[in-house]
Amino acid sequence: MKKLILLTFLIVVIATDSITCKCGIYTTSLQAATQERYNSSDFVISAKVELVRDSLTKGNYFMEPGPYWRKGGYNVVINVKKAYKGEIKTDKIEITPSWSNCSQYFKIGDTYIIFGYINKKGEYTTDICSMNFSTDQKDRLRAFKKIKKKKT
């Protein structure tokens, strides 16, 4: 019986999805990390989250309806305020998540600086490793503005 319990435990532990996201940002300063992400992104924009298309889904899982999911989500439609890098041809775009543990959660109504990529399907995408941030995060916004001053 003990062997069966141990075997079951090991199977569950081994078969469980990893719950971490490994980004690989190894710079020593916020400004250097922001610069690195800016350089590697296909587009960098300031945008406000207008609506969420996935409020109760995440991959194959159905989430319990609650305040967290009513306030935001992963698959969002955003209103582009300004494009800092890349060519965005419309004022509204949809961010398509990868549905991994690295997917970026966005709050409805918040404005973000988004460092994104265009995938093979031509969809706009991003994740938490891209270092997106809400414009309420003043330290991140200062680091971003310093980069923008260098570019102009």
User: What ranges in 16-72 are assigned the alpha helix state H?
Assistant: 30-40, 67-70
User: Could you say which of 3.60.21.10, 3.20.20.80, 2.40.50.120, 3.40.50.10210 is the CATH number of the domain covering 30-147?
Assistant: 2.40.50.120
pTM for the model: 0.76
Bridge partner list, 62: 57
CB 17 within 8 A of CB 59: no
pLDDT at res. 82: 96
Q: Where are the domains of the chain?
A: 30-147
Burial class from Cβ neighbours inside 10 Å (0-12, 13-18, 19+) for residue 150 reads exposed
User: In sequence order, what are the residues at sequence separation of 6 or more whose Cβ sits closer than 8 angstroms to the Cβ of residue 110?
Assistant: 48, 49, 72, 134, 135, 136
Tell me the pairing of strands 92-95 and 57-58: unpaired
- What per-residue confidence (pLDDT) applies to 50? 92
Please choose, from the candidates 29, 18, 49, the residue with its C-alpha nearest in 3D space to the C-alpha of residue 131.
Answer: 29
Rounded mean pLDDT for each run of 10 residues along the chain, 152 residues in total: 63 55 75 91 96 61 51 86 94 88 89 96 92 94 87 58
**Ramachandran bin of 62, using left for φ above 0, alpha for ψ from -120 to 50, beta for the remaining angles:** beta
Give the per-residue pLDDT at 152. Answer: 54
